[in-house]
Amino acid sequence: MISKNVNSLIKVSILSSLSIFSAPLFATEKTIPELVDAVNGTLDTESREAGKKVKLRNHAKGFCTSGVFKPSAKINNALAIPLFNQAEIGVIARFSLGGTNPHASDKGAGRFMSLKIDGNNESLNFVTTNSQVFFASDIDDFFTFQTKVKQGAEGKQWLIDNKPDAKAFFEHIDQMLPSSSFANSAYFGVNSFLFNTYDNQITAGRWIFEPVEEKSTLSQVQLAHLTDDFLKEELLTRIKAKPAMWNVYIKFAEEGDSIDDPTILWPESRQHLLVGEVIINGSRDDEAATLQCEKSIFNPVQLPKGIAPSADPILNARAPAYIESFIRRL
């Protein structure tokens, strides 16, 4: 448990970095605390204080494990990212479900994977989901979506009737089937980043994690024989015998593709570059970084030299929102 003194030091440090976000973001009236309230469903003082007491957070149901990232031997022929000069880099992974319920059922279709790749001098974090489609292109629509879905069926129908991006998102996830494991799910970074190429150009791309194992989904009959908590045990048991592995790609944009809107999918015909391989094997599960993973933040704009965030407002709101949520749980 973190001591009160350490808690205070952490809070002072983070509040200093957060102060620039106290004003509204971009062309919106919404602030970072308001966005966190929308996600948590704590839009009034009473519920907000109650949420702090129970350490309310998004992706509340999840667990951490570890492994390594091995960059492709040829990656430096394409990109100028010094971090990828290392032959092998340690990984901390958190697998989770969406939402604030720590007792949510694993039988839904949503799967999330966050990664910290900590090199000798730099780090690279990922925040990914098994859905390629995002539900909002700007901060106002993000806030509206989060508040409306908390209203249940009526709020969802309002979004379908009034927000085309939300409608497309619901249509996409309604077609998704639950995977049988975190290990055989593909994961996508819905936000775009800017990458330095070996010939001093800058190109936009999005992350894709393709499982090495064949993808497998579960029928309703199969789900009926599983508990609501099967995913954690399945993965941790699996990696004792054989690592879970993903090939990591960057999907590059072409001229005319929308870079700053996470609701717009780029065609599958776009170039894919193999960056490396994530291998989750539990090899660092006894180390402090893994054991304390739940007390850390996966910051998608913590980037090494050669990678920069795009102007996507959703991407650039993530880090301060994660910090605000973290502070409330101290």
**59 labelled catalytic:** yes
What does the DSSP 8-state code read for residue 183? T
Q: Tell me the residue type at 291.
A: L
Beta bridge partners of 112: 96, 129
SS3 of 23, please?
coil
**Residue 131 buriedness (CB in 10 A; 0-12 / 13-18 / 19+):** buried
The phi and psi torsions of 88 (rounded to 5 degrees) equal -150, 135
The phi and psi torsions of 78 (rounded to 5 degrees) equal -115, -40
Write out the DSSP string of 267-282: PTTS-EEEEEEEEE--
Closest CA to 144 of 168, 121, 160, 128: 160
**Candidates 59, 103, 172, 272; catalytic one:** 59
b/e 55-66 (16+ beta carbons within 10 angstroms → b):
ebbbbbbbbbbb
Structure tokens at 239: 């990696």
Q: How far is CA 200 from CA 64, 275, 283, in A?
A: 37, 18, 36
Write out the DSSP string of 2-15: --HHHHHHHHHHHH
Ligand-binding annotation for 249, yes or no, is no
SS3 of 104, please?
coil
Q: How far apart are CA 114 and CA 92, in angstroms?
A: 8
Identify the residue whose tokens are 């593709």: 257
Structure tokens at 115: 């990664």
Name the residues annotated as catalytic: 59
Could you list the residues known to form a binding site, using ranges. Answer: 322
Could you list the residues known to form a binding site for heme, using ranges. Answer: 322
